[in-house]
Every structure is written in C-alpha cells, then in structure tokens.
Copies of this chain bind each other. A is one copy, B any other.
Amino acid sequence: MTLEGKSLIGQQTVAGSGEPLHAVDPSSGERLAPAYPGVDNSQIERACALAAEAFDGYRETSLEARAAFLERIADEIEGLGDALIERGMAESGLPQARLEGERGRTCGQLRLFASEVRRGEWLDVRIDPALPERAPMPRVDLRQRHIALGPVAVFGASNFPLAFSVAGGDTASALAAGCPVVVKAHPAHPGTSELVGRAIQAAVAHCQLPEGVFSLLFGAGNELGQALVKDERIKAVGFTGSRRGGQALAAIAQARPEPIPVYAEMSSINPVFLMPAALGERGQAIAEGFVGSLNMGAGQFCTNPGLLLGLAGAPLDAFISAAGQALEQSAAQTMLTPGIHAAYQQSVETLAGHPKVREVARGQAGDGQHQCQPGLYVTEAADLLADEALQAEVFGAAALVVACADVSEMQAVAEALEGQLTATLQMDDADLDAARRLLPTLERRAGRILVNGWPTGVEVCHAMVHGGPYPATTDARTTSVGAAAIQRFLRPVCYQNLPQGLLPEALHDDNPYAVSRLMDGKREA
C-alpha cells in the first residue's frame, strides 16, 4: 500500500491544502516522505458533518453488527502486515518486537470491545414496570438504556503509535459505544496513522456502515485540534498527551456554548513506595526490577515509575547504589521525536541542577541521535514537600528517589502528591500494617494500586483502571484502558410509558439482546 499523504474523510481520500507535516526518523533525523498537507476548515467541517449524519444510524446498529465492525477493523489492521510495523519503526524509533506487541494489543483491544458490545451491559438496561394499583399514586412503566454521546474527537498519542493512536483505546471504546470518530493524527507518525486509518475506512465500507463513522485528519499545528473540539457536532474528546495540551483542550471544551467532556490522560510520576521490610530483604532485586520498568520504551510510558520513596538508611543507600549500577549499564534508546528528546534533555538538566537534588547515575550515552540517557536522582522528603517543581513529570527514563525519615513522612509525601495514574507498594508481610495505613491515601491519589509489580504494562481487561485524579487525567471517574472505557461515551435516557412499537429494541419485554437487566431493582443475569 503506497502512502498518499492524504486525509480520510468518510470514504473519500482528500488532499489538504495547508502547511504540510512530515514524519522524521528520530534515529537519523531524516525527513520521511510523503508530505501530509493539513486540512482546511471546510474539510474539518465536512468530517464533522458526516459524523453527525452517521450518528443516529450508527448508534442503533445491532450489537452483533457493531461487534463485527470492531473485529473487522482488527482483521484489516492485521492484514496490513509488515508494512505497518516497518513504517511504525521508522517514524517512532521503537523496535520491531515492541511494535508487534503493540499491534497485538491494539487488535486484542478491538476484539475485547467487540465482546463488550455483544455482552451489552453497557446498555445498563433498567426496567421499572408499571404499578397501576399503587397508592396513593400509580407508577407508570419506566425503562432506561444508555445511548452514545455523539461524534467523538480522538487525538492520536505519540508514545503508542498503534495502541493509543488512530485505532487505539479511545477510538475503539468510542466506536463500541456507538459514537462516530474523527481522529486528529499525531504528527509524529502520519504514515502509520494513514495505514491504520485506511484499515478502518475499509472496515466501514465492508460493514456497509454510514461513511461518517470514521474520518482521519492531518494538521501541522494546533488549529485542527482546536477546531475539532470547538465544533458543535463533536460531543466528547479523547486525548493522551501532555498536561498543557490536555488542559488547553479542556478549556476550549468548557468555553463552548455546550460544554463537552474531555477525557485527557495527561501526566503522572507514578510513585513507588519501598516499604522497609521489603527493601531490607530484597533491595537488590527491587532495584533491578525498577530499572527494567524505568527503561521500558525509553521511559516514554504514562506509567513510568518516576518517583521512589524509601526510609533513609542503609537499605535505601544500598538500593540506590544497586539501581545506579544497573542504570549505568543501561543502553541509550532512541526517543520518539526530536522534540521529545529535547524536552527530556531540558527536564533532566533542570532536575540535576536543582540545589536539593543529587545525581546518582546516568545510563550509557549512546552514539545515535535523539537518544535517552537514563538518569537517577535523589532528594529528601522535606525538599520535595517544599518545592512542587520536584513533582514535575520528566517524560523519558528519569527517576527521583526520596529519602523519608519514617513511614509517617512517607505518608505526608503521598498526601502532598498530585493525582496519579498509579501508586506501587514494594512490600513484604512485615510491611502489611504500614501498607494498610498508606492505602487510603493511595486510593485518594491514584487510579491503580500495585503490590510488588511495576506500573509499566497496562493490562487490557475488565478490571483495569488507567485513570486517576487530576492532573493524571481530567476525569477521575473514568478509565481510558480496559472494558470500562466504553462508559465514557454514554449517557442514560429514560423512556416513560412508550408503546413496544416505539421502544428501542434493547428495552423490549422479551429482551431480544439477552442482556443483563435491572428489573424493578433486581439483577437479572
């Protein structure tokens, strides 16, 4: 499949007329063909208009038809074969195995949402039958289901060019909910985006869905994204990226005549609590696990462990020393873009230059372009508490170890942290009481709490929460990974006393979709 450098608007392939963007191979700095000229306002309009036109029809597709569509997208992506992986490697600097794994995750995610659609619990069917004899007032028949919010704008993310991009979790969950999707391609991987976009476009055609169900737009600056979020036909936004970017989109969404929800997953330093018994017993092993997690994907994970808290003393010193040694042996890795690399360099310099921070170790410098040379730093709890800047996320492999006087100070630091995607406890049985005291704080501060694991690696399953209090995300009530992500794009509608002939099929007495229902307050499985 030859890349055309064009946007996809419904079933059309259209050439933009704006400023072109190019992918850059971060390992060489080389600009990759083709150019992707940005769309103009009329093209954005057209994509939104098609999405709005498609909405009523698409949201009423049968569960089976919608599930089959999601599965078809997965099949089409797999059908792209090696070309997708090769282009992804060239555009992201990520290795082949990682991208192959990410493709598997992306297709698995689409298939999980297909099974969620079929299961139908997302409809949240509730039926309160009429009680004509009730005194003093009879009750009329009341039924509830969830329907899709409307067209959704999805912003591709840089760090997972497949799993959080054109056909990533936001798109998959929005389509599963019954929302048409307009994707703004991330400028760092336009070719990968085009390939995946064409796979979705083909699936739309194959499944004979309204063409506006999916569009993919390219644009070099911020104008495209802003225009999408402002468009009155867009009813929700999915975004993974920087805090500044997410906050800007949320502000635009709130300033609309009709404000809309923005699901922005923004920033997190993912604190790891090195509990005393565990640190004393197996500090060396924890240090090795930590460095492995820190270096994953050159540290360019939302769940990268950027902060470690331990009790000052010999075990923490030994841990720091072991982690430093492991880090020094870590090879440099190409970062996703020259811009991300430059920001990483600057963040690390700022951290290293902080008067209360000491550099423990750096990894190998590497001889390629735009490579991440991981860094490990230490400070003290009082210093972290005194300066919010020490909580700033460094996007890339860098971590700060915080020496605390005791578990109470550890807890004070936890209380002072901003909202996080994850919080991790490295603990043994003897740490259980201290962990129990910490737990309520961690629940208030994070979306996911781990014991004796590492936060990188986000399982796509039913119980996952990839979310958390602000500023980890703009909406702590949701997750952007896992089956529950579908709930972001739904709203309840109640039907009072509708004749069966007018009532949506899912609410019919005979339960044609065989979904779990709440019947007069009792669960029917």
Contacts and interface: CB of A to CB of B under 8 A. Distances in A.
A462 to B, nearest CB: 5
Nearest to A143: B463
A465 B497 contact: no
**Number of chain copies forming the complex:** 2
Interface string A489-508: 01111111111011000000
Contacts of A524: 525
B477 A261 contact: yes
A463 B494 contact: yes
A444 interface: yes
Contact of A465 (B144, B419, B502): B144
A179 to B, nearest CB: 12
B493 A465 contact: yes
A258 interface: yes
A199 B502 CA distance: 45
Given A447-B492, A484-B492, A493-B449, A435 B502 contact: yes
Interface in A455-480: 457, 459, 461-465, 467, 469-471, 474-479
A419 B451 contact: no
Interface centre among A56, A60, A124, A491 (most CB of B within 10 A): A491
Interface string A46-75: 000000000110001000000000000000
Contact of A462 (B128, B464, B484): B128
Nearest to A435: B502
Contact of A448 (B461, B478, B493): B493
B128 A463 contact: yes
Contacts of A493: 443, 446-449, 465
Contact of A140 (B137, B446, B453): B453
A115 B521 contact: yes
A250 B494 CA distance: 25
Contacts of A467: 491-492
A126 B459 CA distance: 14
A520 interface: yes
A518 interface: yes
B447 A494 contact: yes
24 contacts: A55-B444, A101-B136, A121-B518, A126-B484, A127-B463, A128-B459, A128-B462, A144-B464, A144-B484, A250-B259, A258-B471, A259-B474, A447-B491, A447-B493, A447-B494, A449-B493, A450-B497, A451-B496, A463-B518, A477-B491, A479-B492, A483-B521, A523-B525, A525-B525
